[in-house]
């Protein structure tokens, strides 16, 4: 074993925990190596160079984000750059090993999402009318939900599809939440709508199509409301956590991650629900992780099996669409649960977390 000596005090620098490895190409010249070293040192970093004949490797010590900005890959003679440390910090479990619990709502209507619990979020995809919203809220409640979710603005692929009721929808949703004793969650799609949404809703959702919209992430963060952050259809887990980092960076750490399917080549379902992302994200981040099987699959017959699987894989909650009359729904009717499926879901929510050894009872049970 060839121990790495430390005559120049490298070890203390390593304590900062941020390192990068630059691999030089076989034909790189000493000047190429010197250029990398110079740029890193100009940026306040330290380097250690391991020179062979066919390859030279340079280890970087210091602020990995500053180094990343240097775009060292662009320099002549650089073959590859490996980042060793995570690109996110505030949401990383590395520096915050305990998993977090996020509380939504206030006063009597205060609901936790986090480890050792299971929380059901339910409601209609879109608010359509006061009657529909209230009826759906009762259905959600009786299935075991403790958080009510519905959309006032919808991000639709087609300009000819129902866009939502806007502020009117927010008001209806808030009343339905009060009437059924549940805090409410609603999606925002435009930063200009965030202030009014934060007035009416207890939690703001950033949808998959907006996950990378920095302006929206910042606007949402600044309200101080808890955020339900959907994973983009094409986002890696790392990019999802980077989006969360954008929120955290503005001082808001009340973030719940929501997996809702990734885009793959398989055409049968709307997206491919990536359930393994739940334990992967929980290992990388201290934030709670829930799954939305309704939007992921887009087909009612798959929602209950997926909800069961989400519970079994360790999700901290599940978010589903319910509707009093799915066949009349203005948005995503084919995925809304009703009747028999709803009862099956309620049964799974009641029994499965316990069978899997979750110690807390779900917050979602009726409290009386």
Instruction: Name residues contacting its own copies, limited to 175-234 (CB under 8 A).
Output: 189-193, 209-210, 212-216, 232-234
What's the chain's length in residues? Answer: 368
Site string for its own copies, 110-149 (x = CB under 8 A): ----------------------------------------
Is residue 349 a contact residue for its own copies (CB under 8 A)? Answer: no
CA angle (312, 315, 317) in 5-degree steps: 115
Q: Helices 277-284 and 237-249 meet at what angle, rounded to 10?
A: 40
Among 198, 136, 41, which Cα is nearest to 333's?
136
Which region, judged by CB under 8 A, interacts with its own copies, from 105-113, 133-141, 155-163, 168-176? Answer: 155-163
| Contact criterion met (CB below 8 Å) for 92 and 241 | yes
Q: Select the residue interacting with its own copies from 179, 181, 312, 350 (CB under 8 A).
A: 312
How many C-beta neighbours within 10 Å does residue 150 have? 33
Site string for its own copies, 28-57 (x = CB under 8 A): ---------x-x-x----xxxxxxxxxx-x
Is residue 160 a contact residue for its own copies (CB under 8 A)? Answer: yes
Instruction: Name residues contacting its own copies, limited to 2-21 (CB under 8 A).
Output: 2-5, 8, 10-11, 13-17, 19, 21
Among 99, 30, 42, 101, which Cα is nearest to 70's?
42
Shortest spacing between CB 21 and its own copies, in angstroms: 6
Which region, judged by CB under 8 A, interacts with its own copies, from 107-115, 136-144, 169-177, 237-245? Answer: 237-245
Separation of CA 38 from chain center: 38
When the beta carbons of 104 and 284 are compared against its own copies, the nearer one is 284
- Site of tokens 């009862």: 343
- Site of tokens 């040192």: 41
How many C-beta neighbours within 10 Å does residue 190 have? 14
Site string for its own copies, 278-307 (x = CB under 8 A): xxx--x------------xx--xxx--xx-
Shortest spacing between CB 287 and its own copies, in angstroms: 16
**What is the end-to-end Cα distance of the chain in Å, rounded?**
66
When the beta carbons of 75 and 143 are compared against its own copies, the nearer one is 75
Separation of CA 74 from chain center: 32
When the beta carbons of 110 and 263 are compared against its own copies, the nearer one is 263
When the beta carbons of 73 and 110 are compared against its own copies, the nearer one is 73
Shortest spacing between CB 111 and its own copies, in angstroms: 24
How many C-beta neighbours within 10 Å does residue 267 have? 6
């Amino acid at each position: 074993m060839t121990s790495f000596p430390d005559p120049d005090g490298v070890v203390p620098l390593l304590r900062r925990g941020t390192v990068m490895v630059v691999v030089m190409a076989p034909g790189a010249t000493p000047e190429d190596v010197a250029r990398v070293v110079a740029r890193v040192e100009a940026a306040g970093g330290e380097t250690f160079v391991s020179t062979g004949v066919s390859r030279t490797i340079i280890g970087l010590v210091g602020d990995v984000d500053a180094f990343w900005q240097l775009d060292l890959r662009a320099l002549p003679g650089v073959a590859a750059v490996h980042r060793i440390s995570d690109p996110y910090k505030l949401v990383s479990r590395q520096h915050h090993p305990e998993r977090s619990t996020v509380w939504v709502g206030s006063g009597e209507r205060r609901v936790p999402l986090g480890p050792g619990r299971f929380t059901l979020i339910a409601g209609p995809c879109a608010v359509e009318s006061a009657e529909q919203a209230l009826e759906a809220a009762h259905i959600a409640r009786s299935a075991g939900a403790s958080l009510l979710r519905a959309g006032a603005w919808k991000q639709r692929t087609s300009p000819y599809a129902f866009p939502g009721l806007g502020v009117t929808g927010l008001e209806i949703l808030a009343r339905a939440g009060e009437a059924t004793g549940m805090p409410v969650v609603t999606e925002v799609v435009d930063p200009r709508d965030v202030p009014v949404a934060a007035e009416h809703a207890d939690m703001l959702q950033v949808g998959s199509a907006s996950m990378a919209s920095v302006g929206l992430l910042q606007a949402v963060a600044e309200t101080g409301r808890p955020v339900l952050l959907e994973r983009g259809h094409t986002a890696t887990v790392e990019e999802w956590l980077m989006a969360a980092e954008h929120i955290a960076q503005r001082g808001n750490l009340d973030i719940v991650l929501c997996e809702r399917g990734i885009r793959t080549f398989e055409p049968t379902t709307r997206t491919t629900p990536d359930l393994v992302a739940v334990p992967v994200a929980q290992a990388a981040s201290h934030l709670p992780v829930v799954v939305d099987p309704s939007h992921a699959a887009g087909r009612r017959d798959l929602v209950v099996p997926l909800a069961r699987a989400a519970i079994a894989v360790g999700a901290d909650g599940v978010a589903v669409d319910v509707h009093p009359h799915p066949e009349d729904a203005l948005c995503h009717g084919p995925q809304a649960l009703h009747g028999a499926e709803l009862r099956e879901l309620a049964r799974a929510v009641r029994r499965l977390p316990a069978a899997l050894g979750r110690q807390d009872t779900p917050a979602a049970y009726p409290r009386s």
